[in-house]
């Protein structure tokens, strides 16, 4: 029997294990349906395999480090976006915890990386003059390569203190008196405490666990949009100063919030597989040799639904599924074609001044995205 079982080896699970393992003598286990860090390999090599082949367990989304293991390695220190922890512990304590995580990242391989801040930025005034809002934040940018090193070092520390069960899918969790029973395909494990941190790819499973344990849930805000890719020079005045900027615009037509997210200067667009649905993300690198001529970022329209609607995740996934069906994966469209209401084809894509870093299917986003979302993106 364990004192604590942690389900999920993403950031939440890793830092929970770190705190418990370095500050107590508790017997701890971590269950993860993906692989350990060194064995996480995506088969897409850009030559023989150029697009997602729907692996049963996506190595980009699952495994030690979670969905962020191969990400841009940006850690935002702010209460203005990225979660609502401050609602439970207060704004000051939430910032203190974020700074504490930053210290751990620096200690385990992140030294020498730059921290950016919006404080005193001239871009604030420029944004206000153009009906935009620049959200206040500090951002530590590790880069995809150094982010991986930090995770490697944390794993080397934790594997000596914690029992890790990789390639182990937790099927269900039950309570029995004051204990938790964690069921996998082959075995059942028992613990005094159970912490679940399964991220987006485990959200549907988590909903079922909450139902079975009579834990109340609520429908979160859903963000739907596109990833924009442009020549890096166009945004260099922003990325050189802030690197990662969260800029919010309120549409005139519907008064919806549209925001930038996950800016990747001189980076690449990559595919992700979440529950069999192919979506995109962005990576950028600290190493000069890996940088590209493009910058990419997400442009998202935020929607929060009210009763009786409850499944915001299913709504977003249904849109992504439709896009996958139309394009056989990810769809790419020139903005000029989107404005004109016409499909991008191979010929039009080749004439584009921006060369996409991801091999995707030329198509028409208006056939997949709801009109209100599309209007917000275009505006």
What are the tens digits of pLDDT across the range 156-176? 999 999 999 999 999 999 999
The residue among 217, 239, 260 that closes a domain is 217
Q: What is the pLDDT of residue 244?
A: 83
**Does the residue 355 lie in any domain?**
yes
3-state SS of 104-134?
HHHHHHHCCCEEEECCCCCHHHHHHHCCEEE
- Please say if the pLDDT value at position 219 is more than 80: no
Can you give the pLDDT at residue 69? 86
pLDDT at 183: 97
CB 194 within 8 A of CB 60: no
Whole-number pLDDT of residue 301? 95
pTM: 0.82
Distance CA 167, CA 152 (A): 18
Per mean pLDDT, which range of 66-75, 290-299, 362-371 is the poorest?
66-75
Span 265-277, average pLDDT = 87
**Portion of the chain with pLDDT greater than 70, in percent:** 99
Q: Which domain holds residue 322?
A: 222-378
Task: State whether 150 and 250 are in the same domain.
Answer: no
Do 172 and 263 have their domain in common? no
Distance CA 90, CA 113 (A): 28
Question: Do residue 64 and residue 162 come from a single domain?
Answer: yes
Task: Please check whether residue 262 is in contact with residue 299, taking contact to mean a CB–CB distance below 8 angstroms.
Answer: no
Residue 285 tokens, joined: 């690198």
CATH number at residue 161: 3.50.50.60
Regarding whether 339 and 254 lie in a shared domain, the answer is yes
Report strand pairing: 268-274 vs 277-283: antiparallel
Q: Same domain, yes or no, for 204 and 271?
A: no
pLDDT band at 215 (very low <50, low <70, confident <90, very high): very high
- In this structure, the strands spanning 28-31 and 132-134 are unpaired
pLDDT of residue 286: 74
**Are residue 213 and residue 200 in the same domain, yes or no?**
yes
The domain total for the chain is 2
d(CA 365, CA 370) in angstroms, rounded, equals 9
Are 191 and 339 in a shared domain?
no
379 vs 26, 62, 256, 337, CA distance in Å? 54, 35, 11, 15
Q: For the chain, how long is the longest CA-to-CA vector? A: 66
50 and 157 co-located in one domain:
yes
> What is the mean pLDDT of the segment spanning 95-115?
95
Question: Distance between CA 349 and CA 359 in Å, rounded?
Answer: 11
């Amino acid at each position: 029997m364990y004192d604590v079982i942690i389900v999920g080896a993403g950031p939440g699970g890793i830092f929970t294990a770190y705190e418990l393992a370095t500050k107590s003598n508790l017997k701890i286990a971590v269950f993860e349906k993906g692989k350990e860090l060194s064995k996480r390999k995506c088969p897409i090599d850009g030559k023989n395999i150029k697009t997602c082949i729907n692996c049963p367990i996506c190595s980009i989304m699952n495994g030690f480090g979670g969905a962020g293991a191969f990400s841009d390695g940006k850690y935002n220190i702010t209460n203005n976006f990225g979660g609502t922890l401050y609602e439970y512990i207060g704004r000051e304590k939430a910032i203190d915890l974020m700074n504490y995580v930053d210290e751990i990242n620096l200690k385990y391989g992140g030294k020498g990386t730059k921290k950016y801040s919006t404080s005193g930025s001239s871009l604030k005034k420029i944004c206000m003059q153009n009906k935009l809002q620049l959200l206040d934040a500090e951002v530590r940018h590790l880069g995809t390569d150094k982010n991986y090193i930090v995770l490697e070092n944390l794993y080397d520390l934790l594997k000596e203190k914690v029992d890790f069960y990789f390639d182990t899918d937790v099927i269900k969790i039950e309570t029995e008196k004051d204990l938790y029973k964690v069921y996998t395909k082959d075995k059942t494990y028992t613990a005094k405490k159970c912490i679940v941190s399964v991220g987006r790819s485990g959200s549907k499973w988590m909903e079922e666990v909450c139902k079975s344990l009579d834990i109340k849930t609520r429908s979160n805000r859903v963000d739907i949009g596109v990833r924009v890719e442009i020549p890096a020079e166009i945004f260099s005045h922003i990325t050189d100063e802030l690197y990662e900027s969260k800029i919010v615009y309120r549409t005139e037509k519907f008064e919806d919030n549209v925001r930038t997210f996950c800016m990747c200067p001189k980076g690449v667009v990559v595919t992700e597989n979440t529950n069999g649905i192919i979506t995109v993300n962005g990576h950028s690198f600290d190493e000069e040799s890996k940088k590209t001529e493009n910058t990419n970022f997400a442009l998202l329209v935020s929607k929060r639904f009210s009763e009786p609607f409850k499944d915001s995740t299913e709504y977003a996934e249904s849109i992504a599924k439709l896009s996958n069906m139309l394009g056989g994966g990810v769809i790419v469209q020139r903005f000029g074609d989107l404005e004109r209401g016409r499909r991008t084809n191979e010929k039009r894509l080749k004439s584009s001044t921006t060369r996409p870093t991801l091999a995707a299917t030329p198509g028409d986003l208006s056939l997949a995205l709801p009109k209100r979302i599309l209007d917000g993106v275009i505006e």
